[in-house]
Chains A and B, each alone.
Chain A
């Protein structure tokens, strides 16, 4: 395949990200790791969002990915980051297929709220499972990279490079998917589902596939977060407010571009770290007010500002 513009952008993005990993201070690398992990989840939301669906329970797959990693480390002693991430992608995908059989019949607010309710099932199970530390969660042992076991600063950068690689791979994959016929059905379904069905397409199946892809991305994000933080617990991974954050980032970044979720989540993490440091009691209020402002004045997210500027310039 010829190298297209998108490929060049991806390559540039990787060079910039990798350089940042070696140049930036430790706290910034950690912040970038977390925001790329969130960006992965939001990329999944973008896929569903373009179909007109708002998944308000993506923490289910985020948490499932994180707990899949935690449990595998705990039970099998497996440490390799490649194998663990793969498991953290596949297990949520399987879960999404099961849940999706019921969920994909619903649209609009029902889809949103039912996905939230499903994520609360996982939360309920985890909180009541004392073997997994219930609300305290448990620590995740540091991973190895194909036999290489770094420590300290090297570990932090290695995890960061891994998530950077994952993000770019995901961005490329989602880009290919969205340009395929299956991906382009998204806006058609959003506009008029029944007409799409008259064209001989099973809308339910298309949505199920989208939900499964989104779950895999969320699982990868959860896995990386588990590695980077080294600890998992139900409140930070599966509670419905976590899903709310993902929805917030999606609105903040807009669904216009594959890169928007990553930029959006970086901005989100930056604002959050400063808000928590300087005004811990106002954090949710800041979130709520900006959510309202974006819905009112920037309904297509921050990315639409870029596109508008480019058109004008």
Chain B
């Protein structure tokens, strides 16, 4: 019973993290049909920026609770700067080329950004545990959970709901949906697709950086933390269906719970169970749970 509760809570916490990281990837793919391999680097940049800013914030001795705003600020800044630089400075010259070539371009961006992190922050680990310690622990039955971890669940729900609301209830969101469904028709109707692309990419980049920023207090921020993220996020997005936001949520829940279960019950298979689930889903639904099969062009 205790194990079950632990699995449930750990699974939800992990799923929340996955959702925040994966939803940006899915959004960018849905709108732009670009699979952004550099998403992992945005995550890493977010984590480093947050760790640095949190360190500076606590050294300055301001009210500790403000550090959460600092994390958000780090994510928004990193997403805005790098997102704009990547989309305006690089990707826009590639539109119209083969989708696979664009993946390779983002892979090149990933390689460059990975070494930029080493150049800026060096190889030493960064710690930003203060916000984590600040919130203390909660006990559920005989189990203790860090409140910070639990607050991740809240954050992911808020992020998801905000995104859903923005996409379905605002003018900009509706324009975005039009572009998702048919890029050419949207352009013909007078939607500024270029601007939609830039906005989407920056938003997706911010979400990736947010994932890193909120993770920074939980881990020691070291080089290479972004490398694994991209593959896991991709698995989540594929399970749910590329480009679908509810899909990303369901994918994150499935992967999160299953991984938590294996960590508690069969720790040996922890790393590969994610991909095993992905293969299983794809064997029966090639386009993912929420994806629509694309029509083949003759």
A and B bound?
yes
Contact assessment for A295 and B238 in the assembled complex, using a CB-CB cutoff below 8 Å? no
Measured CA separation A284–B108 after assembly (Å)? 9
Interface string of A90-131 (1 = CB under 8 A from B): 000000000000100110111011101110111111011100
B286-A121 in contact (CB<8A):
no
Q: Assess whether A118 is in contact with B279, with CB atoms less than 8 Å apart.
A: yes
Whether, in the assembled complex, B162 has its beta carbon less than 8 Å from a beta carbon of chain A, the answer is no
Taking a contact as CB atoms under 8 Å apart, the answer to whether B231 and A240 are in contact is yes
Kindly state the separation between the CA atoms of A112 and B267 in the bound complex, as whole angstroms: 29
Q: Report the stretch among A10-18, A174-182, A285-293 that lies at the interface.
A: A285-293
A284 adjacent to B234 (CB under 8 Å): no
Contact flag A113-B35 (CB < 8 Å), given A284-B111, A287-B111, A292-B108: yes
What are the residues of chain B within 8 A of A292 when measuring CB–CB? 90, 105, 108-109, 112
Cβ of B87 within 8 Å of any chain A Cβ, yes or no, is: no
Contact across chains for B271 and A117 when beta carbons are under 8 A apart: no
Considering the chains assembled together, what is the distance between the CA atoms of A251 and B100 in angstroms? 12
**Chain A 206-246 against B: per-residue CB contact (8 Å), 1 yes, 0 no?**
00000000000000000000000000000000001100100
- CB within 8 Å of A: which B265-281 residues: 267-276, 278-279
Contact indicator A116/B108 (Cβ below 8 Å): no
Known: A105-B286, A117-B235. A291 touches B108 (CB 8 A): yes
Cβ contact within 8 Å between A295 and B103? no
B184 within 8 A of A: no
State A247–B37 Cα separation when bound (angstroms): 14
Q: Please report the total number of A residues contacting B with Cβ < 8 Å.
A: 45
* Complex CA–CA separation, A113 to B104 (angstroms): 11
| Residues of the A chain whose Cβ atoms lie less than 8 Å from the Cβ of B105 | 291-292, 295
- Which range contains the number of B residues in contact with the other chain? 35 or more
The answer to whether B296 touches A194 (Cβ under 8 A) is yes
Closest to B272 in A: A124
Q: A281 an interface residue at 8 Å Cβ cutoff?
A: yes
Q: How many A-B residue pairs have CB under 8 A?
A: 118
**Which of chain A's residues has its CB closest to B100's CB?**
A54
- Per-residue contact bits, chain B 253-295, to A (CB 8 Å; 1 contact, 0 not): 0000000000000011111111110110011001000000000
Which applies to chain B's interface (DSSP): helix, strand, loop or mixed?
A: helix
- Among B100, B111, B278, B286, the residue within 8 A (CB) of A109 is B100
B163 within 8 A of A: no
B122 → chain A, closest Cβ, in Å? 9
Write the nearest CB–CB distance from B248 to chain A, whole angstroms. Answer: 15
Interface residues of A in 252-307 (CB under 8 A from B): 281-285, 287-289, 291-292, 295-296
Please, which residues of chain B bring their CB within 8 A of the CB of A127?
271
Residues in A whose Cβ lies below 8 Å from that of B238: 110, 113-114, 117
Question: Which residues of B in the span 149-179 have a Cβ within 8 Å of any Cβ on A?
Answer: none
Task: Report A283 CB to chain B, min CB distance, Å.
Answer: 7
Interface contact B272-A281, CB-CB below 8 Å: no
- Residue contact A281 to B118, C-beta cutoff 8 Å: yes
Cβ of A295 and Cβ of B108 under 8 Å apart?
yes
- Encode A32-59 as 1/0 by CB contact (under 8 A) with B: 0000000000000000000010101000
A288 close to B275 (CB less than 8 A): no
For B115, list chain A residues within 8 Å (CB).
281-285, 288
B112 touches A117 (CB 8 A): no
User: What residues make up the interface of A, taking CB atoms closer than 8 Å to B?
Assistant: 52, 54, 56, 102, 105-106, 108-110, 112-114, 116-118, 120-125, 127-129, 192-195, 240-241, 244, 247, 251, 281-285, 287-289, 291-292, 295-296
Residues of B participating in the A interface, judged by any CB pair closer than 8 Å: 35, 90, 93, 99-101, 103-105, 107-112, 114-116, 118-119, 227, 231, 234-235, 238, 267-276, 278-279, 282-283, 286, 296-298
What are 20 pairs between A and B in contact, CB < 8 Å?
A54-B104, A108-B99, A114-B282, A116-B231, A117-B234, A121-B276, A123-B271, A124-B271, A128-B270, A128-B272, A240-B227, A244-B107, A281-B115, A284-B112, A289-B112, A292-B90, A292-B105, A292-B108, A295-B104, A295-B105
